[in-house]
Amino acid sequence: MAQKDDDLAPLPRRGRPRDPERSRRIMEAARNHFYVHGLERASVDAIAAEAGVSKLTVYSHFKDKGALFAETVRCKCEEQLPAALFMADLKGPLRKQLRSIAKGFFDLIMSEEALAMHRMMTVQARTDCALPQMFWEAGPKRVQDGLAQFLRAEVDAGQLDIPDVHRAASQFFCLLKGEAHARQIFGCSQTLTARDVEAHLDATVDFFLRAYAPR
């Protein structure tokens, strides 16, 4: 099947360094368009117009629409779960740090933008085998690796007893998703109060800490 114009990118040109302000405008426009139209129907022409740049400028920053999408995912995760959040403070209370990570992750996955991306990737995976991997590496994998690094530091300090930190990181995030995230993805009506969310986060963190307490 022939590729669309938006999926064909000119070769990147060498020259002046990227303008950070242009990059910011492109990213903001891209996030809006991917959220409203999904990846298939989002237009690079429209993204460029909203950002106030040329289509060629967009492609000079990102090699194709898929790469632009992956970068919006990475930035969204970094916004909610910055790298500093995963830096273990071995002098501070472990539960408080893990609770902060849990809150950032839950807020991220339950946001309308993230839910829309999740639904979109479920559909996109049927037609594009490369994009799901790009999405995974830009978002979920980065977050999971960050937590695994945090857990490794706590294990080395004797605060936790975890034989496989990557598996434990996956378990922690799966516990946080739980029923609430599944219901949102399926479109089931559910109103979570602030108290419901706090109780869910506390229960998940406490469960995890009991499971991996030092023997």
Residue 180 has pLDDT above 80, yes or no: yes
Q: Which fold has domain 5-63?
A: Arc Repressor Mutant, subunit A (1.10.10)
All CATH 1.10.357.10 domain ranges in the chain, comma separated: 83-211
Give the contacts of 66 (CB within 8 A, at least 6 positions apart): 39, 128, 130, 131, 134
The Cα 31–Cα 28 span in angstroms is 5
pLDDT value of residue 18: 63
* Mean pLDDT within 87-99: 93
CATH 3.30.70.1290 fits 83-211, yes or no: no
* Mean pLDDT within 68-87: 89
- Collapsing DSSP states into helix, strand and coil, what is residue 143? helix
Structure confidence at residue 13 as a pLDDT band (50, 70, 90)? very low
* Mean pLDDT within 139-164: 95
Please report, to the nearest 10 degrees, the dihedral formed by the alpha carbons of residues 180, 181, 183, 185 taken in order.
170
Give the contacts of 184 (CB within 8 A, at least 6 positions apart): 110, 115, 190
- pLDDT 10s digits, 184-212: 888 886 788 999 999 999 999 999 999 99
pLDDT value of residue 215: 85
All CATH 1.10.10.60 domain ranges in the chain, comma separated: 5-63
